[in-house]
Amino acid sequence: MIAYLLNLGVFFCVNAILAVTLNLIIGYAGIFTMAHAVFFGIGAYTAAFVAMNFTSSLIVVTLAAMLAGGALSFLVALPALRVRDEYFVAASLGVQMLGVTIFSEWKAFTGGLGGVLNIPLPTIFGYEISTPTEFFILALSGLALVVLISRSLARGSFGRNLMAVRDSESAALALGKNVAVIKTLAIVLSSSLAAIAGTIYAYYLSFINVQSFTVDTSVLIMAMVIIGGAGTIYGPIVGAATLMLLPSALSYLWFLPKTEIGSIQQIIYGLAMVLLMIYRPGGMVSSGTKSAR
């Protein structure tokens, strides 16, 4: 049971990191990207590559993954500077498809559809992280770091710049804000922090393949942000917890027929989302209206 909970805890932390970092773009900057899983993947593949070919040092591997995630975030930043709203959503879907194709086909780096196996365990100052408890502490520390960075940025002048761009780009420009720089920074920052989740994920499973980085993952992360509360500090964490724990909680309901539990979960999920959007459109962590953030 403890092992199960620790496993759930690690996956929750990974998803929460992704939701918190996506929230910087969606919730604060108002850029609705559908390609966040690509940067999760870039982080994971880079971490695996560096760990298998150079060093398994957690710090070096994480920095390499963040660097790769940040550097390749121009894939999203470029269309974000050119198009907005539904046009950008479409463009980001294109980036997501491009990412999945590269993950599937670039066999030398990603192992193709088969993925990367036998990723070594991470080490920190020579100490090897190997037990489920240690991995949970690692994942929790990663989440805490990401939340700390996001919170301090969101509550400071950068957060105000992001919200200004989200609420009125033309007014932000008229007040002297370089909107292109602000958007690019938000995307680079969010993508490089998302790569931390990829690193933890790759190390924890010691195996990764493209299935974890598809559009389904991007949609799931977006749902976590929206359900929890876009543009709030803790909303995405609550959203991640809800979407991660709800299926597990449902599986403990003895009166649900085991053969139908998957379908019942989907029905409950769907209903919960519809009701939430009707009665709390701002998400679970909000005062209940769209205007509250």
Q: Which residues bind other proteins (CB under 8 A)?
A: 153, 156-158, 160-161, 163-164, 166-168, 170-179, 181-182, 185, 189, 231, 291-293
Residue 145 or 219 with smaller CB distance to other proteins = 145
Structure tokens at 181: 């720089």
From residue 21, how far is each of 2, 15, 222, 268 by CA, in Å? 28, 10, 11, 27
Other beta carbons within 10 Å of 271: 10
Residue 157 or 259 with smaller CB distance to other proteins = 157
Closest approach of Cβ 199 to other proteins, in Å? 22
Structure tokens at 272: 């919960």
Closest approach of Cβ 292 to other proteins, in Å? 8
Closest approach of Cβ 264 to other proteins, in Å? 37
Closest approach of Cβ 182 to other proteins, in Å? 5
Closest approach of Cβ 181 to other proteins, in Å? 4
Residue 30 or 239 with smaller CB distance to other proteins = 30
Residue 180 or 268 with smaller CB distance to other proteins = 180
Residue 96 or 150 with smaller CB distance to other proteins = 150
What angle is formed at CA 263 by the lines to CA 260 and CA 212, rounded to 5 degrees?
120
Residue 131 or 289 with smaller CB distance to other proteins = 289
Closest approach of Cβ 21 to other proteins, in Å? 15
What gap in Å lies between CA 199 and CA 65, rounded to an integer? 7
